[in-house]
A = this chain, B = another copy of it.
Amino acid sequence: MQFELTRKYIEDLKEAIVRNDEIALIELLQDLHPADLGEILGELDVVESTVVYKVLDADRASDVLTFMEEDRRDKFLASLSSREIAEQLIDNLDSDDAADMLNLFSQEQKEEIISMIEDRQQAQDIVDLLHYEEGTAGSLMAKELIKVNINWTVSNSVREMRKQAESIEHVYTVYVVDDEGCLVGRLPIKRLLLTPLKTRIADIYDSKIRSVGVDEDQEDIASMMEKYDLVALPVVDELGRLQGRITIDDVVDIIKEEAERDYALASGISGDVDSSDTVYRLTRARLPWLLIGLIGGVLGARVIELYEGDLQLYPEMAFFIPLIAAMGGNAGVQSSAIIVQGLANKSMGMSGILPKLGKEFMVGLLNGIVCAALILLYNIAFGDSLDLSYTVSAALLSVIVIATLFGTFVPLLLDKYDIDPALATGPFITTVNDVLGLFIYFMIGHLLYI
């Protein structure tokens, strides 16, 4: 039951656009979800998109913008007048999406658009939302919700709920407030179904309800909704007055973005880029991490230079330089990834840094012994000198253990000082461990071999 975008479909659509065949277009686009439409527009050029856009009904025409790629959407918005934006788009969006969209404009244009919104309640809601700082509960919530007063009767409440429900797509929860507008609980829909109309809400509402303050951080909200399996979360101001609600679909995006951000950082990509971005943006997101690698490489060159004389006498020492450097990097990245994910999931338990280092020491030791033994067998079997074989294995074991400890320690340290531990994975850890590994290798070489 999911729409699948095919080449055939896009060709049909383009043909209909060329023929300017409005009836064919409407038929092709009918019943498609705005998310699908956003995907389709991504395959068309700007002129074609405009033709498609014009035949959409008002609701989808505004919703599709929230599903479009940024660059494309910005071009679109730039081609519309403030009045068109206010009347055709903002009026039809939920307050939170409308506020997000308004934030794309300059202060001046923002005010102009707001002054042209016909639905004054919507305009007020949007202005309220614009006050909250980005990344807080306030900026994430929508003002649309259903609330009843604790002093009302069921029949009163049902009448009021009908009015409120008109502007709402999903009724997740009916909130109960007191005369000051403070959140006091929720009214389960099933109790509403089960109770005589004269019953007072005070007698049937459920006072157990979780809420967050308007200033709460969005990542904390995401982890809270995930932990407690919440689909909607009410937001209250400093006085406890109900201000809005956050729904799970907004939070799914945050959870996903967070996980993707850690992944991107671990792979040496900063910022939120994807393969459809421009060459310039893609390059800019990657270059800083390559430069870190470059600095590491230069430091590595300096380390080896210290042992230039030895290399001249024992060039076979050079054979295992990449092995030692790579294994340090790999082992370090593994440990730091475990820690970063543990911190992100709050699944680290309450033990301190030392027990964690102790455990990772054991893991590093086991992995190191296996790898060192294998490489020793290989070297002996393929006739390298015994001394060189011992050197390589001893260095490999040391490097794996030290890199493992280092990869554990750095993200824990960063987290302690409230720096994002994900910064420590990927190129940074690899690079430091590369250089460290070379030092260890040549030092052990001096002891055992040279």
Q: Which residue of B lies closest to A250 (CB)?
A: B229
Min distance, Cβ A249 to any Cβ of chain B, angstroms: 4
Whether B226 and A252, one on each chain, are in contact in the complex, defined by CB atoms closer than 8 angstroms, is yes
- Please indicate the chain B residues that have their CB under 8 angstroms from the CB of A264 in the complex: 337, 341
Q: What is the oligomeric copy number?
A: 2
- Please indicate the chain B residues that have their CB under 8 angstroms from the CB of A31 in the complex: 208
- Please indicate the chain B residues that have their CB under 8 angstroms from the CB of A430 in the complex: 326, 329-330
- Please indicate the chain B residues that have their CB under 8 angstroms from the CB of A35 in the complex: 227-229
Asked if A65 is an interface residue, CB under 8 A from chain B, the answer is no
Min distance, Cβ A393 to any Cβ of chain B, angstroms: 11
Min distance, Cβ A395 to any Cβ of chain B, angstroms: 12
Main secondary structure of the interface of A (DSSP, over half): helix
Asked if A189 is an interface residue, CB under 8 A from chain B, the answer is yes
Min distance, Cβ A405 to any Cβ of chain B, angstroms: 14
Asked if A168 is an interface residue, CB under 8 A from chain B, the answer is yes
Whether A349 and B312, one on each chain, are in contact in the complex, defined by CB atoms closer than 8 angstroms, is no
- Give the bracket for the number of chain A residues in contact with chain B: 35 or more
Some 10 contacts from A to B, beta carbons below 8 A apart, are A170-B172, A226-B252, A255-B255, A256-B259, A274-B341, A279-B363, A290-B334, A290-B367, A297-B375, A325-B325
| Alpha-carbon separation in the docked complex, A371 to B370 (Å) | 36
| Alpha-carbon separation in the docked complex, A165 to B193 (Å) | 9
CB within 8 Å of B: which A28-47 residues: 31, 33, 35, 42-43
Min distance, Cβ A418 to any Cβ of chain B, angstroms: 17
| Alpha-carbon separation in the docked complex, A427 to B337 (Å) | 13
| Alpha-carbon separation in the docked complex, A312 to B313 (Å) | 7
| Alpha-carbon separation in the docked complex, A321 to B435 (Å) | 12
Whether A276 and B327, one on each chain, are in contact in the complex, defined by CB atoms closer than 8 angstroms, is no
Interface string of A172-190 (1 = CB under 8 A from B): 1000000000000000011
Whether B227 and A248, one on each chain, are in contact in the complex, defined by CB atoms closer than 8 angstroms, is no
- 20 more CB-based (< 8 A) A-B contacts, given A162-B194, A300-B326, A301-B323: A42-B349, A165-B190, A172-B231, A189-B189, A260-B341, A263-B266, A263-B337, A264-B341, A267-B337, A275-B348, A276-B347, A279-B366, A287-B367, A289-B330, A290-B370, A291-B371, A294-B323, A297-B327, A322-B434, A333-B426
Asked if A421 is an interface residue, CB under 8 A from chain B, the answer is no
- Please indicate the chain B residues that have their CB under 8 angstroms from the CB of A168 in the complex: 190
Asked if A83 is an interface residue, CB under 8 A from chain B, the answer is no
Interface string of A294-318 (1 = CB under 8 A from B): 1011101110110010011001101
Whether A347 and B275, one on each chain, are in contact in the complex, defined by CB atoms closer than 8 angstroms, is yes
Asked if A121 is an interface residue, CB under 8 A from chain B, the answer is no
